[in-house]
Amino acid sequence: MFKSKIKALLLSSRHKKITRPYPFVPVTPPENLRGRLEVDPNKCIGCGNCVRTCPSRLITIENYKDERIVMFSSGRCIYCGRCAAACPEKAICITHEYELATDNKKDLEITIKIKMVKCIVCGKPFTSLNMLNKQIERLQDKSEEQINKLKICAECKRKGNV
């Protein structure tokens, strides 16, 4: 056994190096490589489509008082790209960056804080400001009455407090 290892060592020492001197020579990633997630907080409306489609459950949404917090734990990401495909506002994109080694797991977390809108009837936060602005943009009739209807939560609409 020892002789076979020495023989393999001698044979391999005669040939040229076959490995690249990594990190010294940068490698251009292939065109279709799916790397690190990048999230644009200005485009995110906090709808939760990314949460529902993520197979590894790395994205969470929590509501605190008057803000919605969207957290991406990229350390658990399998780089499938479903979250980017499901995002209606294209706030999530997959970059070609693949070197994600770190000593601190917090470096792989992305946190977005989105301001919430309070219901004008009950005062409870019910939707994100970005989502409300998007709905107002889509309105045909941008009258004050129509805009105020959007500022009422579904619970108050059901109760007939409109």
Kindly report, residue by residue over 74-91, the tens digit of the pLDDT: 888 899 999 999 999 999
Model confidence over 138-162: pLDDT tens digits?
888 788 888 888 899 888 888 876 6
3-class secondary-structure state, position 8: helix
Q: What angle do CA 44, 121, 70 make, to 5 degrees?
A: 20
The rounded distance, in Å, linking the Cα atoms of 9 and 77 is 39
Tokens of 141: 């009739």
Domains and CATH numbers, the chain: 29-159 (3.30.70.20)
State pTM to two decimals.
0.73
